[in-house]
Every structure is written in structure tokens, then in C-alpha cells.
Amino acid sequence: MKTMLPVRVKSLALAFAAAGLLAGCATSGNPKDPIEGFNRAMFAFNEGLDSAIIKPVATGYEAALPSPVRTGVTNFFGNIADLLIGVNNLLQGKGSEAVSDLGRVVINSTVGLLGVFDIASDAGLEKHAEDFGQTFGRWGVGNGAYVVIPVFGPRTARDTVGLVLDVAADPVTHVQPIAARNVSLVLRAVNDRANLLPADKVIEEAALDKYSYIRDAYLQRRRNQIFDGNAPREPEADAEQVERPVMAEAATVEPRAAADTVAPDSPMLVARTETAEAK
């Protein structure tokens, strides 16, 4: 399977990665985020791009299209995504989930009129969220360094590799002709952004430092996704055990959180000895 990214983008990405490694030498402090200097610069770039172009377009899109139409767009792309979600569930050994995902695709593509209506959810086939990054996490690959990628935003080293596979395997990137592909990609991106608009104000209200708020939220969310919503509470660094009940579940399921296994000296993939506990 060949990657669809043009060579120019690839060399750009390489340049960014190199810049990141250099910046990483200068700024560090948080072991999960060894290239914080580079990441903050990239985050500022992405924020600028968002406020100048993406957010205004998404806001206009939201205002122009009635909610049922936007739901239809969300469902249409969601149906295409279910295919790869099923593949990832299969790769993670979750057979019944994979069967359910493929069942969703069959039902929604037919009865749901090419995926515009999510009939399968109404019928009780729950929608899952899986990608290659999660599959690697499930297999026991640690996060590696946190990295902010231009346009795509927050990832970890592991999820960056996952992203490359996600993009390469994404049916939408293989649509022909190219013009139709580009329209689809833009529509999907704008629709995704529009769905996130309500969260913007809440994050502004909550965050002391937006960069680290989003970073930590991303890391928490990924950890939770890898555990399929059953992540044990992150251990408290604080040792005041007397005042707190011991969290039996957290202690037995996994002593160390996946997000905590990043070695500061190895920003690339960190292989973990214990795998994420399947429930």
C-alpha cells in the first residue's frame, strides 16, 4: 500500500521532525514531552491556521447547513471509517467487535442509504473508535514522545506511525478522480471541525495553559481509548494513602499507566513488557 502523501509534504515533515529533534535538545522538563519547545511552536502554528482558516470555514459550514444534513455527512464518513475500525478490532483480537463493525457497514451502506443514516446504532450495534495507533497501544507499544504535527495536531510517536497507516489505508484518500478525493477530504475535515466547535469555549474557560491542557487531555484520551473506556485511574504520585481508599481495581488491573511508560531518553517507540490488559 503506497502512501498518498506527495513528496513535498514528506520532505516538509522530515524537516519538521529534524527541527523537533534539535529543539528537543534545548527544551525539556516533562518526560512525556521532551520536545516541548518544538511542540509549542507547532501548536501555535496550528492554532493560527485554525483561527485564520479552519474555524471560520467550519463556523460558516455549521451556520449554512441544517443539523440533519451535517449529521448525514458525519454518518457518511463514519460509515467509511467503520471499515478500518473493524480491521483494527480484528488486529486487536476483538473478534465480536470486528464482526459488529462490519455488520454496521453492511446495514448502514444498504438500509442506511450509503451510510447517510446510522441505522445500525439504532439497531443496537454500537459505534467504536479504533485506529492503528490504538492497535499498537493494545499490542503493548508505549506512547513515545508527545509530538504536535502540523495540521493534524497532537499525536504521540506511536500514534504518528499509526496516523501514517491510517491515512494510507483510508478509503477516502484513494477516491478517484483526485478532485473528488480532495473535495471529500476537505468536507470531512470541515465537518469534523464543526462538530468540535462547542468544545472550544469550554476549553478556553478551563485551560490555564491551553498547550498543556490539550496535550494532557490528548494523552488521557488515548490511554482511555486503548483501554476501551475502562482505563484504571492514573496512579497518584502523592503518597498520602491514609486519607484515601486504595483503588483495588486500579492496583490489580495495571500498576503503571500506559501513558507513564515513556522513557525520557528514548523519544521514539518504547516497547512495553506488559500489554494493556484486555477486559
Query: Could you list the residues that contact other proteins (CB under 8 A)?
Result: 29-30, 32, 67-68, 70-71, 73-74, 127, 191, 194-195, 198, 201-202, 205-206, 208-209, 212-213, 215-217, 220-221, 223-225, 229, 231, 233-234, 236-240, 245, 247
For the chain, state the CA radius of gyration.
Answer: 20
- Cβ 218 to other proteins shortest distance, Å: 9
**For residues 61 and 164, which CB has a smaller minimum distance to other proteins in the complex?**
61
Please state, in angstroms and rounded to a whole number, the distance separating the CA atoms of residues 178 and 219.
Answer: 34
Please state, in angstroms and rounded to a whole number, the distance separating the CA atoms of residues 95 and 100.
Answer: 9
Q: How many CB atoms lie within 10 A of CB 226?
A: 25
Residue showing cell 485511574: 233
- Cβ 74 to other proteins shortest distance, Å: 5
**For residues 16 and 76, which CB has a smaller minimum distance to other proteins in the complex?**
76
**For residues 80 and 194, which CB has a smaller minimum distance to other proteins in the complex?**
194
- Cβ 4 to other proteins shortest distance, Å: 26
Q: How many CA atoms lie within 13 A of 238 on its CB side?
A: 6
Closest CA to 160 of 53, 39, 274: 39
**For residues 72 and 86, which CB has a smaller minimum distance to other proteins in the complex?**
72
- Cβ 260 to other proteins shortest distance, Å: 12
β-bridge partners, 153: 149
Q: Which positions ≥6 away from 249 have C-beta within 8 Å?
A: 232
**For residues 174 and 204, which CB has a smaller minimum distance to other proteins in the complex?**
204
- The C-alpha cell at 240 is 498520602
**For residues 59 and 224, which CB has a smaller minimum distance to other proteins in the complex?**
224
Q: What are phi and psi of 128, to 5 degrees?
A: -105, 170
Long-range contacts of residues 69-75, Cβ cutoff 8 Å, at least 24 apart: 70/191, 70/194, 70/195, 72/116, 72/117, 73/187, 73/188, 73/191, 74/191, 74/195, 75/108, 75/112, 75/115, 75/116, 75/117, 75/118
- Cβ 237 to other proteins shortest distance, Å: 4
- Cβ 168 to other proteins shortest distance, Å: 24
**For residues 8 and 201, which CB has a smaller minimum distance to other proteins in the complex?**
201
- Cβ 112 to other proteins shortest distance, Å: 16
